[in-house]
């Protein structure tokens, strides 16, 4: 998948959790099945000879990697700190690089250290067709530039979409009412991001929502099943994997839904001279403008790029939103402080209708960054060495080496975060008060070699600004309009975890009680 690379898009429990319709009530079978697949994959993969690398191994059992990778990553990072080390994982030997090396590695060119190839391997792009191909760079630049610059302008549309889905789909909650959060949240994130990607005409269409949400699930399931077979057998085995047909059906469905929009856009462009209205403002339009002439009207290209972006956006955003909800529901004090801030900026100062209001929610921004630090991904910066690399300390990484950063360990490093183990929602708010540079440095979306939740370098997540914006809108809407708590006697929900991925349980309930918007 040229240039579209992401841990967030790796085969993931995130996506699996979304087949909740199929899996509901059968979680044990799912765990056993998934574990069996992973163990089988491991035993097949492990016979392959990994490149020889002169760095120490961290000895870990396969079971630990499968069921408690987070602890393993934290312990191993703690042991090696600034040194590079390796782990024999179910996906083959992984070389773990600490922040000390991220700086020099993140600027290496793609033909030396490739994010694209690493993700293509992990997502079996050859078979799943999860690839932006030669348009990968264009896509990333468009999200980083056009989408991000347009966020303030999109704000009223996103709010309108959020109001609509909350009014039509969220229960009244006049008294304390338990609500399964994930089914609602997935639909909300899909609608909001869909509004920015495909526009209002189909973002509410059930077929579009279904396809754009489930495409990632089908890619994930196909990957898991393909890993059942050794690499040499996959050209034949692919015909046994029914999820690959589902992926083809997703593309066909996306083409069908996008076709009338593309036709409309073309007649709009043709009538430009007589047209006084503004061009529509969504990713369909930006792609028409940016794609090479011969691909502008190509439905398959639009369908592929739209589904890939949806796959990158929906489950990742939903996961972090869920973790934020857990901490809000478990901490009434935090909820109250964030409510005061949101009330002042969005209600008293009329911020809902102002474009620049969302960045003013600095306490909410800090809370989200802290949740992301402590509850985010286990690893990040997935890369594959394409040409031998000699690092500044002389470490040699041969071609074929699989690289990862031990994110869960880095986030707990006292050298980078005071009282690192403590959940402090105002940590980054306070840091931001120190100076102008700090005000910028500690924002939710700001990157550094020690804060790589959104990756690093040229492949760092280009959708993080939209993700942050959507999460803030949804959280602000809910803390202003509802009191939120855990169910009586319930502890803060913990995500399901397997190998390097974590995902919320789709059946988790929070309790909501409607409040008047006055504080
Ligand atoms: C909280 C939500 C999100 C998280 C945690 C997240 C995380 C990530 C990470 C870790 C990467 C890989 C970076 C690297 O390897 O250096 C990535 C890449 C990417 N993300 Fe996100 N992401 C999120 C939301 C989104 C959204 C909303 C979009 C779409 C608007 C998006 C689109 C992408 C794309 C296209 C890439 C590939 C970039 C490239 O390879 O050049 N992500 N994301």
Residue 32 is predicted with a pLDDT of 47
Geometric angle at alpha carbon 161, from 158 and 165, rounded to 5°: 140
DSSP, collapsed to helix, strand or coil, labels residue 265 as: helix
Per-residue pLDDT band for 65 (boundaries 50, 70, 90) equals confident
Helix (H) or strand (E) holding 78, with range, is helix 69-80
Task: Please give the distance, rounded to the nearest whole angstrom, from the Cα atom of residue 499 to the centre of ligand 1.
Answer: 20
Ligand 1 atom closest to residue 376's alpha carbon, by position in its atom list:
5
Does the beta carbon of 460 lie inside 6 Å of ligand 1?
A: yes
Does the beta carbon of 199 lie inside 6 Å of ligand 1?
A: no
Q: Which of 2, 4, 8 to mutate to test the pocket of ligand 1 (most atoms within 8 A of CB)?
A: 8
Task: Please give the distance, rounded to the nearest whole angstrom, from the Cα atom of residue 8 to the centre of ligand 1.
Answer: 6
Task: Please give the distance, rounded to the nearest whole angstrom, from the Cα atom of residue 465 to the centre of ligand 1.
Answer: 10
**478 pLDDT higher than 90:** yes
Task: Please give the distance, rounded to the nearest whole angstrom, from the Cα atom of residue 281 to the centre of ligand 1.
Answer: 22
Does the beta carbon of 316 lie inside 6 Å of ligand 1?
A: yes
- Per the annotation, where are the binding residues for heme? 461
Chain centroid, CA 510 distance in Å: 22
Ligand 1 atom closest to residue 320's alpha carbon, by position in its atom list:
1
Ligand 1 atom closest to residue 470's alpha carbon, by position in its atom list:
27
Q: Which of 463, 470, 495 to mutate to test the pocket of ligand 1 (most atoms within 8 A of CB)?
A: 463
ipTM above 0.95, yes or no: yes
Task: Please give the distance, rounded to the nearest whole angstrom, from the Cα atom of residue 261 to the centre of ligand 1.
Answer: 26
Do residues 469 and 357 touch, judged by C-beta distance below 8 A?
no
SS3 annotation, 485-498? ECCCCCCCCCCEEE
Ligand 1 atom closest to residue 116's alpha carbon, by position in its atom list:
40
Give the DSSP letter string of 442-483.
TSTT--BTTB-TT--GGGS-TTHHHHHHHHHHHHHHHHHHEE
Does the beta carbon of 4 lie inside 6 Å of ligand 1?
A: yes
348-373 average pLDDT score: 93
Share of residues in the chain with pLDDT > 90 (%): 71
Question: pLDDT tens-digit profile of 66-108?
Answer: 889 999 999 999 999 999 999 998 778 999 999 999 999 999 9
DSSP, collapsed to helix, strand or coil, labels residue 384 as: strand
Does the beta carbon of 461 lie inside 6 Å of ligand 1?
A: yes
**484 pLDDT higher than 70:** yes
Does the beta carbon of 119 lie inside 6 Å of ligand 1?
A: no
Which candidate, 215, 191, 216, 213, places its Cα nearest to that of 204?
191
Distance CA 256, CA 268 (A): 20
479-493 average pLDDT score: 96
**15 pLDDT higher than 50:** no
Does the beta carbon of 7 lie inside 6 Å of ligand 1?
A: yes
Distance CA 244, CA 486 (A): 39
Residue closest via CA to ligand 1's atom 19 equals 461
Task: Please give the distance, rounded to the nearest whole angstrom, from the Cα atom of residue 325 to the centre of ligand 1.
Answer: 21
Does the beta carbon of 452 lie inside 6 Å of ligand 1?
A: no
Select the highest-mean-pLDDT range: 66-70, 148-152, 361-365: 361-365
Higher-scoring residue by pLDDT: 23, 350: 350
15-36 average pLDDT score: 42
Edge-to-edge strands, sheet with 380-385: 85-89, 92-96, 402-405, 380-385, 113-114
Distance CA 163, CA 337 (A): 23
Task: Please give the distance, rounded to the nearest whole angstrom, from the Cα atom of residue 491 to the centre of ligand 1.
Answer: 30
Residue 41 is predicted with a pLDDT of 52
Question: pLDDT tens-digit profile of 429-451?
Answer: 999 999 999 999 999 999 999 99
End-to-end CA distance of the chain: 48
Distance CA 395, CA 100 (A): 13
DSSP state of 348: I
Question: pLDDT tens-digit profile of 197-247?
Answer: 999 889 999 999 999 999 998 998 898 888 788 889 999 999 999 999 999
Residue 4 is predicted with a pLDDT of 35
Residue 66 is predicted with a pLDDT of 85
Domain chopping of the chain, boundaries: 7-514
Question: pLDDT tens-digit profile of 307-353?
Answer: 999 999 999 999 999 999 999 999 999 999 999 999 999 999 998 88
Question: pLDDT tens-digit profile of 260-313?
Answer: 999 888 777 666 665 556 778 899 999 998 998 888 888 999 999 999 999 999
Task: Please give the distance, rounded to the nearest whole angstrom, from the Cα atom of residue 313 to the centre of ligand 1.
Answer: 7
Q: Which of 1, 5, 6, 376 to mutate to test the pocket of ligand 1 (most atoms within 8 A of CB)?
A: 6
Mean pLDDT for the chain? 88
Residue 343 is predicted with a pLDDT of 96
Residue closest via CA to ligand 1's atom 14 equals 455
Task: Please give the distance, rounded to the nearest whole angstrom, from the Cα atom of residue 41 to the centre of ligand 1.
Answer: 26
Residue range 7-514 in CATH 3.30.1490.20: no
DSSP, collapsed to helix, strand or coil, labels residue 95 as: strand
């Amino acid at each position: 998948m040229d240039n579209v690379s992401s841990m967030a898009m790796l085969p993931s429990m995130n996506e699996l959790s979304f087949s909740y319709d199929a899996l509901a009530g059968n979680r044990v079978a799912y765990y056993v099945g998934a574990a069996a697949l992973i163990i089988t994959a491991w035993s097949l993969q492990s016979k392959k000879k990994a490149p020889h690398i002169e760095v120490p191994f961290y000895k870990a059992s396969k079971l630990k990697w499968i069921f408690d990778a987070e602890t393993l990553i934290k312990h191993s990072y703690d042991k090696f700190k600034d040194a590079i080390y390796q782990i024999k994982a179910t996906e083959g030997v992984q070389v773990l690089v600490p922040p000390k090396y991220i700086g020099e590695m993140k600027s290496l060119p793609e033909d030396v250290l490739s994010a694209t190839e690493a993700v293509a391997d992990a997502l079996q792009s050859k078979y799943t067709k999860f690839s932006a191909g030669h348009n990968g760079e264009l896509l990333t630049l468009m999200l980083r530039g056009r989408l991000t610059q347009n966020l303030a302008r999109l704000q009223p549309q996103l709010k309108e979409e959020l109001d609509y889905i909350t009014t039509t789909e969220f229960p009244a909650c006049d008294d304390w009412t338990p609500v399964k959060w994930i089914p609602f949240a997935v639909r909300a994130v899909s609608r909001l991001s869909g509004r920015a990607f495909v526009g209002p005409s189909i973002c509410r269409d059930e077929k579009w929502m279904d396809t754009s949400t489930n495409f990632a699930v089908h890619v994930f399931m196909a990957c898991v099943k393909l890993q059942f077979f050794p690499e040499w057998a996959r050209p034949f085995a692919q015909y046994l994997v029914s999820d690959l047909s589902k992926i083809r059906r997703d593309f066909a469905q996306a083409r069908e839904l996008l076709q009338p929009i593309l036709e409309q856009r073309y007649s709009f462009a043709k009538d430009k001279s007589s047209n006084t209205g503004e061009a529509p403002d969504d990713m369909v339009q930006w792609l028409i403008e940016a794609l090479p002439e011969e691909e502008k009207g190509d439905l398959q290209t639009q369908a592929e790029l739209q589904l890939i972006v949806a796959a990158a956006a929906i489950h990742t955003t939903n996961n972090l939103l869920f973790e934020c909800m857990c901490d809000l529901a478990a901490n009434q004090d935090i909820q109250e402080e964030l409510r005061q801030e949101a009330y002042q900026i969005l209600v008293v100062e009329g911020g809902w209708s102002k474009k620049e209001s969302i960045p003013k929610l600095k306490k909410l921004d800090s809370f989200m960054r802290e949740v992301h630090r402590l509850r985010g991904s286990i690893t990040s910066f997935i890369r594959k060495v394409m040409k031998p690399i000699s690092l500044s300390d002389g470490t040699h990484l041969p071609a074929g080496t699989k690289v990862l950063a031990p994110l869960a360990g880095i986030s707990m490093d006292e050298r980078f975060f005071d009282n690192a183990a403590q959940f402090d929602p105002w940590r980054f708010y306070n840091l931001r008060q120190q100076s102008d540079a700090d005000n910028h440095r500690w924002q939710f979306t700001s990157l550094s070699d020690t804060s790589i939740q959104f990756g690093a370098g040229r492949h760092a997540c280009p959708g993080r600004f939209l993700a942050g914006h959507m999460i803030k809108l949804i959280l602000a809407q809910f803390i202003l309009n509802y009191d939120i708590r855990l169910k009586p006697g319930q502890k803060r929900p913990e995500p399901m975890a397997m190998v390097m991925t974590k995902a919320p349980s789709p059946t988790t309930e929070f309790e909501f009680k409607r409040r008047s918007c006055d504080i």
